Structure 1
Amino acid sequence: MTEPTDHTASAARVLRTEGEALMALAAHLPADFAAAVEAILAIPGRVILGGIGKSGHVARKIAATLASTGTPAFFVHPAEASHGDLGMVMPGDLCVLLSNSGETAELRDMVAHCARFGIPLAGMSRNDDSALMRAADYRLTIPDLPEACAIGMAPTTSTTLMMGLGDALAVALMEARRFRAEEFRAFHPGGKLGAQLAPVRQVMHADHLPLVAEDAPMADVILTMTAGGFGIAAVVDGAGNLSGVVSDGDLRRHMAGLMDRRAGEICSRSPVTATPDMLAAEALAILNRSKITVLVVCEGARPVGMLHLHDLLRLGVM
């Protein structure tokens, strides 16, 4: 029988080891990091990522992160590159090759291709004196620290460092490009993330808005609220600008002599509103913070839509 293992202790040890390695990397970033960022910003083409084994998996992830955050990038498998896919790597591109040892034989053809066509090359490795790093124009050296596994051989710490450095590269490029949430959504139209980044104008109800004039009698206000289905009526002045909102709570608070009043007499002034260009996630935060279920959507002071909490929940914004 095998000896019993404290699984949680193993997990904690691995996470501490990798976390300490990341902190070491943060304290001593590669000297060429800033230059690599500037080089990527300057190229007219794409960033080509390559690697074999676990380094290849990390390279795929870095390519995906770059591509989704405004830096055109894709992964080229080094073995396939040697059989024709080198044609995907063109002058104007920049190549980033990952290898823990820096001596991965399968990378040689990609390194030679970059040298032949003057394609800038960045190497990511723990071995600064390796064949890859000697050939690289930009050396993204990671600390040579112990792997987190018990036998010290399985790629754990090294791949975590590569992943972290790839994320740092992507975020530095995002910030340099002033990449906006609207652009991010263009690359993430599906799922919960796409829902959160949808603008309010795509979710709001823009037809048959429950609007009443300030001098509207209470019978008309109640009929408008009932027909609208939002539980509120938006009160507008003579210029069509929002001046208040009548809610079910306002009706209850003014029950005494209610039917003798006008909309402007009982409405809540300066209501919380949204704008059409506001992100759906922001609108949900306003609803939660204000403890209400409906927002009037305004362009300037003029109501142009209604947004209900249920619309956001159906969209998947949570």
Structure 2
Amino acid sequence: MSNRRKFIKSGILGGLAVTTGSLSTLACATPAKAGQKPIVISTWNHGVQANVGAWEVLSQGGKSVDAVEQGVRITEADPNNATVGIGGFPDRDGFVTLDACIMDHNENCGSVAFLQDIMHPISVARKVMDDTPHVMLVGEGAKQFALEKGFKEENLLTPNSEKAWKNWLKNQDYKPKINVENHDTIGMLALDADGDLSGACTTSGAAWKMHGRVGDSPIIGAGLYVDNEIGAATATGLGEFVIKICGSHMIVELMRQGYPPQEACKEAVDRIVRKYKNNYMDLQVGFLALSKTGEYGAYGIHKGFNFAVKSNTQDELIDSMSAV
């Protein structure tokens, strides 16, 4: 085990250029060297603002679990984001249903799925983790729990999302477009100043999905996994394919075996490509990973998957490498 951990710590892949001023974008960047903490990384361009919220906690010496919750709440509260929280595209019956999970450095975790009328599923998931003996609550039970905990019931279907849904009803064609705002979950991973890892994942799921469909985002081991001895991983994209390979857990276990984060993400993507060679060209999946030592990496099936990084030396939106 010690040799494996030395391999992880070695950071054998090249370092990222760091910025000294405003946000920058690097295409197909190489993964970061180890040694950065605190640090927060998150999926897609909406991760930039989410990272700002998380950094408010991390920069003051706060815990990673508080940072990831605060960070993704920013995305959940953005009505202009069509994939997370309020304003998320509804299912084919016109209902906005939300999924989320959170996991801390002690392997405590909480999750909600098929939650309606509550803007911040990540905070409901946190309450499941902190206040119940369970890991996951779903549907009406999750909503009842949220209301009992003081969360406000509100309509999450914004005029823009309702208009998009009504336009979709004209043809009812269910073919998600790659890298289009239809399945762009936000997953966030953080390493705090104490060296502890946590993660969060939250989404409104695939637009126009069947009523009751749940993807990978609230499933521990699929959309998110944290092992404070090794690292953490999160996923985005079409959740059915992430679930089929237990993607985030797989990546953390590869890191345990000595794979650097980016190589572990690449192996997970390659497995989808190998196993589903007749399907992968029409879907996107992206993985993001962070090691115990502060090294990070990402990989997607197709070009276009990006992620945001924020630390004491970086503030960047980075294009991941991809299989296609």
TM-score computed with the length of structure 2 as normaliser: 0.23
Which structure has greater strand proportion? 2
Which structure has the larger Rg? Answer: 1
Indicate the structure whose relative CO is greater, using CA pairs within 8 Å and at least 6 residues apart. Answer: 2
